């Protein structure tokens, strides 16, 4: 009963902490501007099932896709064994599903062990790619420091948790005897514990049991502080994918209304219309909630940056960094709100403090980043809105664009020709 009480207390505390931290992330996301994306629900569901659940866009790079699929499937299916551990911890039972499932039970756990071994191998492969092979996109400047450590920590945690599961099964002598040693991994490890007394075996088995479940609960509470929160957010993020053609741009309704009113002063002002107070995105609060959710959903895989033509030609722009900077600034704003009793106090910084003009104007708006993202994130939307702020609020655009703007204003076209001279080329010389 003492062990059950301790387990229940730890479980409740872990769920509470996780819920509180997820609540903060939800609060931060909802700081963004309202955006109605309730349309085309069947198409959105299909997109989510295909991209998030089906991993359809991962196949563009077969090697990481294969290893990621193993980890993904392992994460989903091995949770069935975690469910049994939860029940045992609360009810004081031991392998509660063994009785109801009968002969199917060792077959199921044997499959989980094989899957767990494949997960372990996949984690080692990813560590190799990141730290020994040193893939360029995984070691770019924005990946230095915490970003690299975070990815490494997660892989090591998964390896340790899998090892604890194998030790737990290997030292459960009664379980080994009842299954006839049919568990492929734990049966291989069991001889390592042959000369240990029953009491010591039981102690190791219980220690591995507690280590495994406490590790999972700790991992759960680590997720909200990690890029691996995409495990959860990939599904809503892909559900709210942009379904319109990527090359289309939405008009700013406030600008359109203002222009129409200026062109026709006698036109009635739309009911409920309020003149805009700002244009574009100065800080994260000016972005949509969808943009902010995508910032938290980013997997930091770097596929967007590796496909970016501006980055390939040596420009400063990295679409991955744009998403990481947006998330960092949003976290900063959230902490500001927490420390000021629910109100944001101007700290003299904004999103442009992290993302430079050089980065923003290097973007060619080609949408290669959005096309490459395995969960349909679109960094270009953030870049475009930040550009709007620079142009419409700060009148801060490259000279080439300022010349074009002047020509549009004076000549009604991007060229330095009077409208009366446009047809001169048709005249015989």
Note the pLDDT tens digit of each residue in 341-400. 899 999 999 999 999 999 999 999 999 999 999 999 999 999 999 999 999 888 888 888
CA–CA separation, 133 and 201 (whole Å): 40
pTM reported for the whole predicted model: 0.89
**Average pLDDT score over residue span 256-272:** 82
Give the separation between CA 360 and CA 352, rounded to whole angstroms: 10
Average pLDDT over residues 396-416: 85
What is the per-residue pLDDT across 146-186, written as a single tens digit (0 to 9) for each? 999 999 999 999 999 999 999 998 898 877 777 776 788 88
pLDDT at 312 over 90: yes
| pLDDT of the residue at 240 | 95
Give the residue with greater pLDDT, 425 vs 317.
317
Report the C-alpha gap between 173 and 175 in whole angstroms: 5
- Which of 63-72, 107-116, 299-308, 411-420 has the weakest average pLDDT? 411-420
> Taking all residues of the chain, what is their mean pLDDT, rounded to a whole number?
91
CA distance 417 to 424: 10
How many Cβ atoms sit within 10 Å of the Cβ of residue 35?
12
For every residue of 101-135, DSSP letters joined together read HTTHHHHHHHHHHHHHHHHHHHHHHHHIIIIIS--
Report pLDDT for 270: 82
- Burial, 312: exposed, middle or buried (Cβ in 10 Å; 0-12, 13-18, 19+)? exposed
Q: In this structure, which topology does domain 277-411 adopt according to CATH? A: Fumarate Reductase Iron-sulfur Protein; Chain B, domain 2 (1.10.1060)
- Alpha-carbon distance 141 to 209, whole Å? 40
Ranges for all domains in the chain classified under CATH 1.20.950? 2-30+61-239
The most confident of 24-38, 189-203, 252-266, by mean pLDDT: 24-38
The answer to whether 377 and 316 have CB atoms below 8 angstroms apart is no
Q: What is the CATH number of domain 2-30+61-239?
A: 1.20.950
Q: In Å, what is the CA distance from 391 to each residue of 152, 250, 339, 429? A: 41, 17, 33, 41
Mean pLDDT of 218-243: 94
Residues β-bridged to residue 288: 33
Radius of gyration, CA atoms only, the chain? 28
Q: Which residues make up the CATH 1.10.1060 domain(s) of the chain?
A: 277-411
Residue 429 is predicted with a pLDDT of 59
Query: What pLDDT is attached to residue 61?
Result: 92
What percent of the chain stands above pLDDT 70? 99
């Amino acid at each position: 009963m003492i062990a059950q009480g301790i387990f229940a207390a730890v479980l409740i505390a872990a769920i509470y902490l996780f819920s509180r931290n997820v609540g903060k992330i939800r609060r931060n996301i909802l700081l963004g501007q309202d955006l109605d994306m309730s349309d085309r629900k069947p198409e959105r569901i299909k997109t989510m099932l295909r991209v998030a659940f089906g991993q359809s866009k991962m196949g563009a790079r077969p090697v990481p896709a294969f290893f990621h699929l193993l980890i993904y499937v392992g994460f989903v299916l091995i949770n069935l064994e975690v469910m049994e551990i939860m029940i045992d911890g609360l009810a004081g039972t031991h392998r509660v599903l063994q009785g109801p499932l009968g002969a199917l039970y060792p077959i199921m756990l044997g499959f989980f062990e094989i899957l767990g071994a494949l997960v372990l191998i996949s984690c080692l492969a990813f560590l190799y790619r990141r730290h020994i092979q040193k893939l360029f996109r995984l070691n770019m400047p924005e990946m230095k420091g915490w970003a690299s450590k975070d990815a490494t920590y997660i892989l090591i945690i998964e390896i340790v948790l899998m090892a604890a599961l194998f030790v737990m099964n290997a030292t459960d002598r009664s379980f080994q005897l009842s299954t006839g040693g049919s568990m492929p991994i734990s049966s291989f490890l069991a001889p390592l514990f042959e000369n240990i007394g029953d009491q010591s075996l039981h102690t190791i088995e219980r220690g591995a049991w507690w280590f495994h479940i406490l590790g999972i609960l700790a991992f759960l509470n680590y997720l909200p502080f990690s890029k691996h929160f995409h495990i959860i957010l990939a599904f809503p993020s892909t559900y709210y994918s942009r379904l319109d053609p990527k090359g289309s741009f939405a008009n700013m309704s406030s600008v359109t209304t203002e222009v129409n009113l200026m062109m026709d002063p006698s036109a009635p002002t739309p009911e409920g219309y309020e003149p805009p107070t700002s244009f574009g995105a100065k800080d994260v609060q000016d972005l949509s909630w969808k943009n902010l959710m995508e910032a938290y959903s980013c997997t930091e895989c770097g596929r967007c940056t590796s496909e970016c033509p501006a980055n390939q030609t040596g420009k400063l722009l990295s679409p991955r960094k744009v998403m990481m900077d947006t998330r960092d600034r949003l976290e900063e704003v959230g902490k500001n709100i927490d420390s000021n009793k629910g109100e944001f106090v101007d700290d003299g910084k904004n999103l442009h403090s992290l993302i430079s003009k050089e980065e923003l104007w290097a973007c060619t708006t080609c949408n290669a980043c959005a096309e490459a993202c395995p969960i349909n994130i679109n960094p270009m939307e953030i870049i475009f809105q930040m550009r709007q702020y620079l142009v419409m609020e700060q009148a801060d655009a490259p000279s080439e664009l300022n010349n074009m703007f002047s020509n549009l204003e004076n000549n009604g076209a991007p060229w330095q020709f009077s409208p009366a001279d446009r047809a001169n080329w048709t005249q015989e010389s």
